[in-house]
Structure 1
Amino acid sequence: MRQVDVLIAQGRTVAEAIRQIGVTEVTYYRWRSEYGGLKSDQVKRLKELEAENARLRRAVSDLTLDKMILKEAAKGKLLSPARRRACVDHVGAELDLSERRVCRVPGQHRSTQRKISAFPDDEAALTADIIALALQYGRYGYRRITALLRDAGRLVNNKRVERIWRREGLKVPQKQPKRGRLWLNDGSCIRLRPENPNHVWSYDFVEDHTHDGRKFRMLNIMDEFTRECLAIRVNRKLKAVDVIDMLSDLFILRGVPGHIRSDNGSKFVAKAVREWIAAVGAKTAYIEPGSPWENGYCESFNSKLQDELLKGEIFYTLKEAQIVIECWRRHYNTVRPHSSLGYRPPAPEVVLWRHNQSCTNIDPRPPQWGRPSRSSCRQYS
């Protein structure tokens, strides 16, 4: 523009001056409308400001687009590559953006996005077995399900079972119980610990009702060392005489234990019960009143009985309750994996094999209540 002004001052026409600098008249007049009256340093500064303004506009648009991508993405943290991959596909389809642009926001690498997940050949069969066991044993966690799968003959890792467990939404949340003060008296399970089988037995009552609303009681007796449920007596009413009758049968079959732990219920502190237990050579260990956690082994068993059986069954008659509860007791002793025993049952069934039998006759299907699974092949001479 300054050169054109000089040529015009020398007597040239505007058209001749424009042709001499090698631009069109449209370009010249556009420059004149934009930069007329500005010096070269001012024009340079103006161009820098325009470039900065364009950069800021791009940054604002990028931030707005990132906000839109995050808003469209799934709620919560995208921790696993699978969730990131699904999120990128969803956002790209909804906002019509490129894969490169969407992967930049959640920090997903493009090679990870394009990787095709490879599953083992037995993934579908294993998933079906896990779901079947979860439906059968609704309150079991993935560790016990893993133990049952291994007993059935599957070589499976507990981490793989956990991954499938979480993917299928099979996790069962448990409420955190309130805990009280542990007084640690001589009858608590902390001071008096079982040291061998038949050392400490514990027993307690559990109440439930049949479909007609009538209550029945259960007397649970267990060996604290082996975690085996020795007996469950079910009846409408259980008195001190019934407690003595049940204990006498078990003493004849298994011998007299060193201690018998219980709470301070009227059936346990009755004079007849205490005198009879002392007469046969056993000792009583009473917990502190109002401190059920001191009888922790039996209370834990009672909670398993409630959670895995009583809360999911409707009993129409007392006889039905006696049969079903006895089947569950056998299942608990011979099949159910126990976490404190390395996920083995407390008293697995011992099978004496004849010479014409082999381990190939073992039924690999999941065990049912009342039909204990012969999960291990043991032979005694």
Structure 2
Amino acid sequence: MPRKSFTPEQIINHLREAEILISQGTSLAVVLKKIGVSNCTYYRWRQEYGGMKVEQAKRLKALEQENARLKKLVADITLDNAILKEAAPGKLLSPHKRRQVITKIQDKLKVSQRRACQVLGQARATQRRDKEPPDEEKRLVADVTALATKFGRYGYRRITALLRERGWRVNHKRVERIWRMEGLKVPQKQPKRGRLWLNDGSCIRLRPEHKDHVWSYDFVSARTSDGRAFRMLNIIDEYTRECLAILVKRRITSEDVIDQLFNLFILRGIPEHLRSDNGPEFTARSIRKWLADIGIKTLFIEPGSPWENGYIESFNGKLRDELLNREIFTTLFEAEVLIADWRRQYNQVRPHSSLGYLPPAPEAIMAAKTT
């Protein structure tokens, strides 16, 4: 059985999953069986990637790729100098002379025709061109027209591939020239029809029944006084209406969403469902797979239907009305401090109408949790 390999991003996600399961009381043996690794591999991963974030692993991988690229660049420059040294005697004033020199360089230095042509400024089409009979162009035009008629949805690149299968030695540029000359084109595609929803525009939405049953998360955008935009990732518990976290950054990626959820899962536990819109940060394959591995069900609202995510939309409206539209943020740090203070007041002080005008997490309850 071949050995299964893991990328650094997958290893970090597996370690996070293991930490969450262990924090809930799951034994190490069960955790290792779930993530599919041995005890030795698990501790080796912890030694190499413990405490590392996905962004740090990507940065390390990028540095390795940059180092390999620089090495290849040095090798390419050395090879180019050798090619120019071999072609130095005599002037290459005509394509015919360049063709002869390139053939000589290919045999002596064992380089590809592409590299030799690129260094000496010779077009590969000129290097490979052979004279054709005068009537061959007419037969090629007829074949191109016949194929375009038969395969109406094919463009000139696919027609080129079909011509090569028939024995023609042509490239796509020549076929494109004939294509334009004959006025050929691919018809416009018919627009797709969307699948209809319920006639009254309604939908069936899972309603929260208890604490940590359904969480919602969404993005809100604002700007600092210098005009630069920043984003906020808001996460709430739909049943208690408590704001669990607000992440403030200039740019928030799917990895940032995973990091924020990971911290909340460690501190509060895992919810049964996560509701969101269809934004790329929420529908990313890495997030959906990670949540599925942990055992969290995702709920995506219908595109263009924000009312299906009413709890978080209501929270976003309160945040914008009570803070964002009233404050001028000179720096991102100032925005983080003010938004964190507003979140504390929203959870512990601000009366909520749907809770009988009580705050979602009163100060007395929060103080009892900390003692």
Q: TM-score, normalised by structure 2?
A: 0.45
Work out which of the two has the higher radius of gyration on C-alpha atoms and give 1 or 2. Answer: 1
* Greater fraction helix: 2
Q: TM-score, normalised by structure 1?
A: 0.44
